[in-house]
Amino acid sequence: MKYEGKKGVIFDLDGVICSTDHLHYQAWKALADRLGIYFDEKINNRLRGVSRMASLEIVLERSDKQYTQEEKEAFAEEKNNIYKELLKTMSPKDLSDEVKNTLVELRARGYKLAIGSSSKNTKPILKQIGLGDFFDKIADGTDITRSKPDPEVFLIAAERLGFDPSECCVVEDAKAGIEAAKAGKFTALALFGDAKGCGLEDYDLNGFGDLLNIL
């Protein structure tokens, strides 16, 4: 399957360019333990592609206490402070050769490359893995008011690239991200996670490098 004429490729960050799941897990687990709330890897998997506050609501499902909005905001900040410390352990070693080489080849083929991520930590993460100045444009959690499955972050990324959504592919590992891509009229490419085989995607990728077979 070829997508002739696509000019832009918009990548989700967490779970697509690099893996941060284990760091999110450690940070949410630290908060949940402090609050005496049960939390495990299975619950953590439900947080993929979900905004920070929506993730907190999922974590709090296991609590029998009701918390005020103010307390919830403090919890989200507490988790994020732990997460930010953990992000400092990331390095260019967390960027696989497959991802790096594929990105470089896509650029050589003339594609413009952007990030479309719900994460407010997008820029520090890119810097840690050595891609601080790599992407042509970035749209992230600091730009949006509505998280995926709303298409806002991808629409901003496409606009910044100067392309119509019909001229861009989105690469996602979360079903919410595939829904967002389709809602924005992008071509949706599913990689790993609950994106692959969710039924809404235009194409299931067999690994990141498979992009070079279709673009």
Closer residue to ligand BG6, CB minimum distance, 22 or 109: 22
Identify residues 42-81 at the interface with Mg ion (CB under 5 A).
49
Query: How many other C-beta atoms can be found within 10 angstroms of the C-beta atom of residue 14?
Result: 23
Single out the segment in contact with ligand BG6 by CB under 6 A; choices: 96-104, 113-121, 153-161, 188-196.
Answer: 113-121
174 is a contact residue toward Mg ion (CB under 5 A): yes
Concerning whether 40 is annotated as a catalytic residue, the answer is no
Interface positions, 118-157, toward ligand BG6 (CB under 6 A)? 118-121, 141
Strand order in the sheet with 203-204: 137-139, 112-116, 8-11, 168-172, 187-190, 203-204
Query: Is 14 in the active site?
Result: yes
Provide, rounded to whole angstroms, the least separation between the CB of residue 4 and ligand BG6: 30
Minimum separation from the CB atom of position 154 to Mg ion (A): 13
Task: Give the H/E segment covering residue 116.
Answer: strand 112-116
CA 44 – CA 30 distance, rounded (Å): 13
- Say whether residue 15 binds Mg ion (CB under 5 A): yes
Q: 129 CB contacts (<8 Å, ≥6 apart)? A: 17, 18, 90, 91, 92, 94, 95
> 52-60 and 69-87 helices cross at what angle (nearest 10)?
110
Rounded Cα distance between 12 and 9, Å, is 10
The rounded distance, in Å, linking the Cα atoms of 132 and 135 is 8
Q: How far is the CB of 79 from Mg ion (least distance, A)?
A: 17
Binding piece for ligand BG6, criterion CB under 6 A, among 50-58, 108-116, 164-172, 198-206: 50-58
Considering the rule CB under 6 A, would residue 175 count as an interface residue with ligand BG6?
A: no
CA distance 197 to 78: 35
Binding mask 70-109 for ligand BG6 (x = CB under 6 A): ----------x-----------------------------
Which residues have a catalytic role annotated?
Answer: 12, 14
Residues of this chain that interact with ligand BG6 (CB under 6 A) are 13-14, 24, 47-52, 55, 80, 117-121, 141
